[in-house]
Amino acid sequence: MGAMPEEIHHLTHHLKQRSVRDSGMRTYYQGKLSGIPTVIVFSRWGKVAAAATATNLILEYGVREIIFTGVAGALHSDLNIGDVVVGKNLYQHDMDATPLMPRYEIPLLGKQFFETPPARTEAALEAAGRFFKNIKHYVSEAELAKFDIRAPKVVAGDIASGDTFVSAHAHKEHITSGLPGVYCVEMEGAAVAQVCYEFGIPCTIIRTISDAANESAEVDFPRFIETVASRYSEGIIRELYKKI
């Protein structure tokens, strides 16, 4: 699953025996990637859309694992544009049913976050590391310079998801005040993780840092998605598939 249509575009061209099907206002690309039966789809934005897409993948296509890629805003001070975060624990930062239950706890599940299986986290970390060694095969030096990407790194960290695009420092502080250990913020990952938890299948969330989630961000977002983030998704997934 990709959080942007551009992020799945390059990957779909690598599918062998490809077929295409439209369902529920989404286009599903099915085939084999590195010999592995695979379905690729743009999730659409937000938790509900991502959860609906994940559910359809499981029920209609019988997938046994979901890998989700996309961009995110940095919350941790050590992160820079072009770094990658592999989700460790996935929180829904806008879930608050207090006083009925603790803040962030998902009703009826008794969980405040959803964990990524350690083996999947490690595999994604290694795949991103291999990708960075060959990053210039995917992203031009001009584009790396444009976004001041010099020594990108990959880390495993907690991720917060919510149905708000975080672009104000006050909102960023509100999230980190309750979840001080979270590395980045986005709009889908924890919802996908919840669906996978409820259906008993593993998922991996891989996020490329596109901005600092505040007013100071001056990134050409469409260009970043097209020339950097989409190439990250392609390269990291292809490296990950080599070890599946």
Half-sphere exposure of 173 (CA within 13 A, CB side): 4
- For residue 107, with 0-12 CB atoms within 10 Å meaning exposed, 13-18 middle and 19 or more buried, which class applies? exposed
Q: Per the confidence metrics, is the pTM higher than 0.85?
A: yes
pLDDT value, residue 55? 98
pLDDT value, residue 190? 98
* Res 217 pLDDT > 60: no
For tokens 């996908």, the residue is 192
For the stretch 8-51, pLDDT in tens is: 998 999 999 999 999 999 999 999 999 999 999 999 999 999 99
Fold designation for 5-241: Rossmann fold (3.40.50)
Q: Where are the domains of the chain?
A: 5-241
- Mapping DSSP onto H, E and C, the string for 49-65 reads HHHHHHHHHHHHHCCCC
Q: How far does CA 189 lie from the centroid of its chain?
A: 6
3-state secondary structure of 202: coil
From CA 67, how far away is CA 73, in angstroms rounded? 19
* Res 213 pLDDT > 80: no
Neighbouring C-beta atoms of residue 47, cutoff 10 Å = 21
pLDDT value, residue 214? 61
38: which 2 tokens?
């695979």
List the helix and strand counts (H, then E) for the chain. 8, 9
Q: Where are the beta strands (DSSP E) in 131-223?
A: 154-161, 182-186, 203-211
- The sheet carrying 16-23 orders its strands as 16-23, 26-33, 36-41
For tokens 């995110």, the residue is 72
Query: Could you report how far apart the first and last alpha carbons of the chain are, in Å?
Result: 17
For tokens 């930062």, the residue is 93
Q: What radius of gyration, in Å, describes the C-alpha atoms of the chain? A: 17
For the stretch 73-131, pLDDT in tens is: 999 999 999 999 999 999 999 999 999 999 999 999 999 999 999 999 999 999 999 99
For tokens 């980190």, the residue is 176
